[in-house]
Each structure stands twice: as structure tokens, then as C-alpha cells.
């Protein structure tokens, strides 16, 4: 989860740069000295007392996204990529492989931070290599989905017609996003199976024990796997939603540490997560919250990128704290399932004490209560079973609430997406230069805004794929003839075909409407002297 949050934050820095949160500096070479920071921090940690050393170690786990923020917003890394490859690093445009180049500082700094953290834990070369390999694979498993998203989207958008339809028609865009989400959900077991160092659990008494526990719990899966961590991590997990695609992971350290009944108790705990569909509940709340944000942006016409980022940032914080609250209680519910399957809490208590150790005995984390709290809860439930029933009832309400939120958000999203279908189709026709088709839709009663209707009417006489230069000349001729509305309509048509051109002069006409003649002339000069002269002649006629 930590690496996934790091990747998402690094991704968001590109949006912040695009929204204007930058210093204006163009010093990409200063990214290189950032690579020394993890090693300097590691040197300090190895010489510090345990508590400061632990703080430094934890801080290094967040170093890469912070370094990415510095590289992007302070040192202008995306501008450098654009200069080198001639294409902007845009988070808000259709994904292109160049977007991955914008994340290079994060990827490099994450590897340096992983190496530095591995050297803090242990100076022995074999242990350093094992820790570095484990953490690199975990980081890779969080980064690969982003790479796949960019590459799949780029492939879908390779043909302009397909890209414009999926990008421009909101219903298609939503369907594409939903398909991607389902694809990644189904592909996650395979992804982890190959990015982490795993192998099938060999035939042995351990496998027989785990298979017996699964039968007792009525649980089915595709594979039981050993997760080879170099004996550095004691953990288990069930990944996947359907029985035929689920994999169950047991780390080598966990298998080595636990007695047979303790291992069965941990497996039953993980079965509890799967049986109660905890991952799906998390997904319902997360997707529901972000869909609600999207609906709010549309419903309240939030056009400012800054405001949109602020809304999304607030939701991310809300999600972060609510996820932790819910996760800690889901762990308690999974503990109860373990007790139900085995008929006793003792094996799970011993497993928690053995795996958690003294460090986790009293420490509550973002996702887990402390071992002492979990053991105390199990003891309380043993004395008063009603506590367990109360917890399950409350969590069932959370689950139902997540589903209701998701369905409500989906209904709102579909309503807004469907309400814009007519206008989306007309815009797609105009973006593809299909002016006759756009005019036919409007004549047939398509519900479009007045400004778009004016553009369609002026474009009705254009040929399919009319060259941009020809449309621009029509706009300038209309301007010199004193017809500002026609000039704006033709410029809007040109903008829809290529948003990199004619923006200054279109904004100049907006300044004219606002009464800022001097500003309009200056802005038109950014396009060309010819446009400035045409605008000057237009103003002279007023």
C-alpha cells in the first residue's frame, strides 16, 4: 500500500505542475544531487540512537515522492522532457508514453531510497541484497499498473478517431475507465504472482494443513504460493475476488516462524478478509468517493484546475484516514473468523505475539491495532460474545454504506454523462473535422450550447477535414469585416481541431468583449503580427 500511495502522489505532481504550481526554474540537473540525500540520511541513521534512526528509516520510505515534487514543481522536469521530446507531459490530456518520462525522477529516487534503507537494516551484503530485492519487487508491483494504464490507453488512442470518440464522449470515457478498473482487478493476482518472487507451495504436511483449513472454512482458491522474501517479512495475503483466480501468499519467514496450528490460524484470518469481501468494500468506498467528487465538479461547474485538485486532495486525505479506521476494524473481524474456523483464539494469539514481537506489542499502525489491543479484544469477545456480534453488525453497515454510496455515485455519474451525449457527439464531429455531420445532428435537434451551435452553423459550409490554415483565414477575414462572432466561431472550430494553435487570438477576442483593448492587442501579438494588425483594424471600426 505504501508504494501505491507513493506512485499516486508522484503521478499527481505532474498535474500540479500543469495547473501552474511551479517556480519557473529550469534546472533539471539538480535532480542528480537528490540521489545523495537517501545515503546521507542512511549514514545518519546508522550512527543515531534507535528512535531517531527509526524516524529516518520511515522518512526515507516517503523520500521518492517528495523528491519527485521537487524535481517537477521546483526544477521544471516536465518542461525539460517536453523540450527533449517535443511533447508535453500532460496528466489531463490523453495518456501518452511520454507521461512515463515525467515519472523518471520518482522511479530513480525510489530505487536509491530502497538501497539506502536496506543498508540501514543490516550491513551484511547478503541481507542488504535480499532487502533490496524484496523492496524493489514490491515497488515494481505498484508501478507496473501505472505503466500498463499508460501503454493500454496509448494503444487505444493510437487511431485519432478512436481516441477522440473515447476521450470526447463522456459515456464511452466512463465505460473505458470501468473496463480498465475491472481489468486491473482481475489481473492483480497474476501481476503479483510475477512481480513478487513466488513459487507454488510444495507438497508437504504444511500444504495438507492449509488445504484442510480451507476445506473447513469452505474456501477455494487457484494457488497456494510461497512468497520468497529472504526471510525478511512475515506475512500472508489472499489476492483476487473469484475462487478460480484467487492466490494465497505465505511468506517464507511466516512459514519458518509459526507452528502448524498458528499457521492455520493466520490462514483462517486471511479467509475472513475474503469471506467478508473487505477488499471490495474498500473499493466501493474509494470509487464512490471519487465518483462523487467528479459529479460535484460537473454539478457545480468547477472549471478551475486548482479547485479540482483541491477537492481531489481533500478526498484523498478523507480516504486516507477513513481507510485506516475501517482497516483496523476489519482486522478484528478477520480475527473473529479465525477463532470461528479453528474453534479457539489461542493459536491466533500465539501467532500474533510471535510475528509481531515486542515492537508491535503496543504499537497501533495505520492499518492495524496493536497486538495487545487485538489480543485484548479477543479476550473480551470470549467473555462477552455480544461484542463480536456488535462489531460485525457495525461493519456490515459500513459495507452496505459503501455499496449505497457507490450506486448513488454511479447513478449521478451516468445521469451527467448521458445528459451530455448530444453535445459530446457534436464536439467529436467537430474535432474530427466532420462539419456536415455536426450540422446534421444540430438540425435533428441535438441539445447543444449556444456557443457551440454558432460554431456548427459557421462550420456547415466547410469541407470535411478543412485545413486549419483555411479556417484561420476565414476567422481573420470575418474579424477584418467587423464580424467578431463569426471570427470567434471559426477560431473555436480551429481550436477543437488543434488546441495548441490560435489560443492567443481567441483569448484576445475575449479581452475585447471584456473592454480591454490594449490587452487584446498584446495577446494577439503572441499569435502573429498579422493577427495583431487584423485586430487593430477591427477595433478601429468600432
Quick: pLDDT tens for 134-155. Answer: 999 999 999 999 999 999 999 9
Determine the distance from the C-alpha atom of residue 112 to the mean position of all C-alpha atoms in its chain, rounded to a whole number: 23
Mean pLDDT in residue range 213-221:
95
Cα-Cα-Cα-Cα dihedral sign, residues 49, 52, 53, 54: positive
Residues 14/102, Cβ–Cβ less than 8 Å: yes
- pLDDT at residue 360 tops 60: no
Q: Distance between CA 439 and CA 436 in Å, rounded? A: 5
Helices 421-431 and 386-419: crossing angle in degrees, nearest 10, is 50
Within 8 A by CB and 6+ apart from 527, the residues are 502, 503, 504, 505, 508
Q: What does the pLDDT look like over 192-201, one tens digit per residue?
A: 999 999 999 9
Provide the 8-state DSSP code for 91: S
Sheet containing 236-239: order of strands = 198-200, 223-227, 247-251, 236-239
What percentage of the chain carries pLDDT values higher than 70?
Answer: 99
Helices 160-168 and 170-195: crossing angle in degrees, nearest 10, is 110
Residues 169/425, Cβ–Cβ less than 8 Å: yes
Q: What does the pLDDT look like over 288-337, one tens digit per residue?
A: 888 888 888 877 777 777 777 788 778 878 888 888 999 999 999 999 99
- Parallel/antiparallel/unpaired status of strands 236-239 and 247-251: antiparallel
> In this predicted structure, what is the pLDDT of residue 5?
87
pLDDT band of residue 357 (cuts 50, 70, 90) is low
Angle CA(18)–CA(23)–CA(25) in degrees, nearest 5? 105
Q: Distance between CA 528 and CA 538 in Å, rounded? A: 16
pLDDT band of residue 502 (cuts 50, 70, 90) is confident
Within 8 A by CB and 6+ apart from 428, the residues are 164, 165, 168, 169
Q: What does the pLDDT look like over 239-262, one tens digit per residue?
A: 998 888 999 999 999 999 999 999
> In this predicted structure, what is the pLDDT of residue 381?
95
In angstroms, the Cα distances linking 350 to 197, 261, 317, 342, 374 are 27, 9, 35, 13, 12
Residues 524/531, Cβ–Cβ less than 8 Å: yes
Residue listed under C-alpha cell 455499496: 403
Per-chain mean pLDDT for the chain: 91
- pLDDT at residue 513 tops 90: no
Q: Distance between CA 223 and CA 226 in Å, rounded? A: 10
Q: What does the pLDDT look like over 369-397, one tens digit per residue?
A: 999 999 999 999 999 999 999 999 999 99
Question: To 10 degrees, the CA torsion angle through 504, 510, 515, 519?
Answer: -10
Write out the H or E segment, with its range, that includes residue 247.
strand 247-251
Most confident range, picked from 298-307, 361-370, 485-494: 485-494
Select from 509, 516, 481 the least CA-distant residue to 495: 509
Select from 284, 271, 374, 285 the least CA-distant residue to 329: 374
Residues 210/232, Cβ–Cβ less than 8 Å: no
Residues 34/64, Cβ–Cβ less than 8 Å: no
Q: Distance between CA 95 and CA 89 in Å, rounded? A: 9
> In this predicted structure, what is the pLDDT of residue 66?
96
Most confident range, picked from 363-372, 422-431, 494-503: 422-431
Select from 456, 431, 451 the least CA-distant residue to 441: 456
What percentage of the chain carries pLDDT values higher than 90?
Answer: 73
- pTM reported for the whole predicted model: 0.84
pLDDT band of residue 499 (cuts 50, 70, 90) is low
> In this predicted structure, what is the pLDDT of residue 490?
93
As a three-state string, the secondary structure of 349-398 is HHHHHHHHHHHHHCCCCCCCCCHHHHHHHHHHHHHCCHHHHHHHHHHHHH
Q: What does the pLDDT look like over 160-180, one tens digit per residue?
A: 999 999 999 999 999 999 999
Give the domain ranges of the chain.
Answer: 1-121, 277-408, 424-541
Q: Distance between CA 70 and CA 76 in Å, rounded? A: 9
Most confident range, picked from 16-20, 294-298, 343-347: 343-347
- pLDDT at residue 358 tops 80: no
Amino acid at each position: 500500500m505504501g508504494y501505491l500511495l507513493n506512485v499516486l502522489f508522484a503521478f499527481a505532481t505532474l498535474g500540479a505542475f500543469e495547473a501552474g504550481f511551479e517556480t519557473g526554474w529550469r534546472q533539471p540537473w539538480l535532480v542528480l544531487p537528490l540521489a545523495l540525500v537517501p545515503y546521507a540520511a542512511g549514514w545518519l541513521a546508522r550512527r543515531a540512537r534507535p528512535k531517531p534512526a527509526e524516524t529516518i528509516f520511515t522518512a526515507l520510505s516517503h523520500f521518492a515522492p517528495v523528491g519527485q515534487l521537487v524535481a517537477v514543481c521546483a526544477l521544471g522536469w516536465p518542461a525539460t522532457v517536453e523540450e527533449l521530446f517535443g511533447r508535453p507531459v500532460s496528466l489531463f490530456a490523453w495518456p501518452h508514453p511520454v507521461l512515463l518520462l515525467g515519472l523518471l525522477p520518482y522511479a530513480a529516487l525510489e530505487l536509491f531510497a530502497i538501497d539506502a534503507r536496506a543498508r540501514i537494516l543490516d550491513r551484511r551484503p547478503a541481507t542488504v541484497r535480499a532487502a533490496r530485492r524484496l523492496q524493489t519487487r514490491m515497488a515494481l508491483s505498484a508501478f507496473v499498473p501505472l505503466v500498463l494504464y499508460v501503454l493500454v490507453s496509448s494503444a487505444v488512442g493510437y487511431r485519432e478517431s478512436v481516441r477522440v470518440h473515447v476521450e470526447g464522449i463522456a459515456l464511452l470515457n466512463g465505460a473505458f475507465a470501468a473496463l480498465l478498473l475491472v481489468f486491473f482487478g482481475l489481473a492483480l493476482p497474476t501481476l503479483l504472482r510475477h512481480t513478487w518472487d513466488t513459487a507454488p507451495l510444495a507438497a508437504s504436511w504444511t500444504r495438507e494443513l492449509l488445504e484442510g483449513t480451507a476445506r473447513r472454512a469452505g474456501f477455494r482458491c487457484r494457488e497456494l504460493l510461497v512468497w520468497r522474501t529472504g526471510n525478511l517479512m512475515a506475512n500472508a495475503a489472499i489476492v483476487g475476488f473469484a475462487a478460480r483466480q484467487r492466490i494465497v501468499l505465505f511468506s517464507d519467514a511466516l512459514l519458518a516462524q509459526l507452528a502448524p496450528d498458528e499457521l492455520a490460524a493466520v490462514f483462517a484470518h486471511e479467509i475472513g478478509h475474503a469471506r467478508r469481501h473487505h477488499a471490495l468494500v474498500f473499493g466501493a468506498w474509494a470509487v464512490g468517493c471519487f465518483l462523487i467528487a467528479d459529479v460535484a465538479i460537473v454539478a457545480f461547474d468547477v472549471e478551475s484546475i486548482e479547485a479540482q485538485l483541491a477537492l481531489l486532495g481533500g478526498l484523498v486525505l478523507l480516504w486516507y484516514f477513513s481507510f485506516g479506521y475501517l482497516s483496523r476494524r476489519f482486522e478484528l473481524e478477520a480475527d473473529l473468523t479465525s477463532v470461528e474456523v479453528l474453534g479457539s483464539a489461542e493459536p491466533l494469539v500465539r501467532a500474533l505475539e510471535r510475528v509481531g514481537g515486542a515492537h508491535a506489542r503496543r504499537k497501533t499502525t495505520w492499518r492495524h491495532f496493536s497486538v495487545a489491543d487485538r489480543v485484548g479484544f479477543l479476550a473480551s469477545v470470549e467473555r462477552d460474545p455480544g461484542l463480536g456480534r456488535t462489531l460485525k453488525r457495525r461493519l456490515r453497515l459500513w459495507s452496505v454504506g459503501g455499496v449505497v454510496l457507490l450506486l448513488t455515485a454511479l447513478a449521478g455519474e451516468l445521469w451527467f454523462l448521458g445528459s451530455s451525449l448530444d453535445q459530446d457527439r457534436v464536439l467529436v464531429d467537430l474535432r474530427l473535422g466532420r462539419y456536415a455531420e455536426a450540422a446534421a445532428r444540430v438540425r435533428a435537434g441535438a441539445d447543444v450550447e449556444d456557443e457551440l451551435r454558432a460554431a456548427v452553423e459557421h462550420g456547415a459550409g466547410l469541407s470535411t477535414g478543412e485545413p486549419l490554415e483555411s479556417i484561420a483565414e476565414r476567422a481573420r477575414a470575418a474579424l477584418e469585416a467587423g464580424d467578431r462572432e463569426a471570427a470567434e466561431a471559426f477560431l473555436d472550430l480551429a481550436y477543437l481541431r488543434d488546441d495548441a494553435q490560435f489560443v492567443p487570438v481567441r483569448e484576445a477576442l475575449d479581452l475585447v468583449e471584456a473592454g480591454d483593448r490594449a490587452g487584446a492587442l498584446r495577446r494577439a501579438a503572441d499569435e502573429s503580427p498579422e493577427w495583431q494588425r487584423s485586430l487593430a483594424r477591427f477595433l478601429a471600426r468600432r
